[in-house]
Amino acid sequence: MMYPLIAEINSSFRMLPDQASSISARYTNLFLFMCLVSGFITLAIATCIVYFCVKYRRRSPDQVGGRLPRGTWVEITWIVIPTIIAMGMYIWGAELFMVMNDPPPNALEIHVIAKQWMWKVQHLSGRREIDALHVPLGRPVKLVMTSHDVIHSFFIPDFRVKQDVLPGRYSTEWFTATKVGQYHLFCAEYCGSGHSHMGGVVTVMTPGDYAKWLADVPTGQLSSAQAGHMLFNTLGCVQCHGQTAPTMAGLYGQNVLLSDGRIVVADKDYLRESIVNPRAKVVNGYQPLMPTFDKQLSEEQIFDLISYIQSLRTEHTPEGNATRPAAAHKQSPPAQKRAGTEVQP
């Protein structure tokens, strides 16, 4: 019964931006509920202060205050009830936080790079944007973001999503747009003298219009994975990986045994660190021979390399255990044997 009341308050007073994503209504309900509870408690405390000041004021200079009887039930009431309300808001917020940080597996992945003072957006098809983001209506969209310089924050008020974007690592946020239109995009973290100008527009399109827009790429423009494949060959990575270095086929998302005995997951952060600082996590059975590419590759190029590695798939047994690289990326038998010591199913 609380949700309709909160929705009516928001609609009547126009206190918040439009609700244009699947999560925005739930976020708004929680925010307004917390405001109502805080306002009620503030008003109750202020009322009690005024009432007690009047009722128990000193009426003559020689008046001495007396001891009031201890109100056990009063103390229990003002401890138990606020605790229940606070825990309820915590559980409500924690559940919403978990939903907002767990993108669906079928979400459309888009790469975002923050730079003083602009947003650079890379679609996996090869389409690129600056200070703009086009997304389809009704489909979950997962943004994988990093910063070229300082801390930024990707904020779309109408979608109720905001996430800090940090240099040297990847952060993610996701949303499902529910209304066609254009919405403001802001940087919500002070990032320098041009911070106030670091904004943009998010355009929500119907799936058909989005597919046409996505396909309209310049002639010869490569997809992110294709650009990564070309870069993989240009940098000479292909000369070692799969032979004197671990194979990339089927690596993404798998467990990797390190030389110090640790097991890590080959996610985007692991791959990025292995590119810019390859000695940080050395794979078991291999020597730390890979040169660093720190300061030699842009964040866009690192994203392309990771997209290429993600595109390399493995064939699986019915039990889900990796057996060998897919036909398009087969390695020599010795490389397959070495890969088996690196990637754990």
Percent of the chain with pLDDT over 70: 86
Give all domains of the chain, ordered by start, each with its CATH number: 2-56+71-100 (no CATH), 108-215 (2.60.40.420), 224-344 (1.10.760.10)
pLDDT value, residue 337: 32
Reported as a pLDDT band with limits 50, 70 and 90, residue 6 is low
pLDDT value, residue 84: 94
Percent of the chain with pLDDT over 90: 41
Q: Which of 295, 258, 297, 255 is nearest to 279 (CA)?
A: 258
**Which pTM value belongs to this model?**
0.76
Reported as a pLDDT band with limits 50, 70 and 90, residue 155 is very high
Of 87-91, 152-156, 301-305, the range with the lowest mean pLDDT is 301-305
Reported as a pLDDT band with limits 50, 70 and 90, residue 330 is very low
Dihedral pair phi/psi, residue 54, rounded to 5°: -80, -45
pLDDT value, residue 280: 87
Q: How far is CA 300 from the centre of its chain?
A: 18
304 neighbors 275 (Cβ within 8 angstroms): no
pLDDT value, residue 5: 56
Average pLDDT, the chain: 83
Which letter, b or e, does each residue of 281-314 get, where b requires 16 or more Cβ atoms within 10 Å of its Cβ? bbbbebeeebeebeeebebbbbbbbbbbbbbbeb
Give tens-digit pLDDT for 269-289.
Answer: 889 988 888 888 888 888 888
Stretch 225-234: mean pLDDT: 88
Please say if the pLDDT value at position 254 is more than 70: yes
Q: Classify 302 as helix, strand or coil.
A: helix
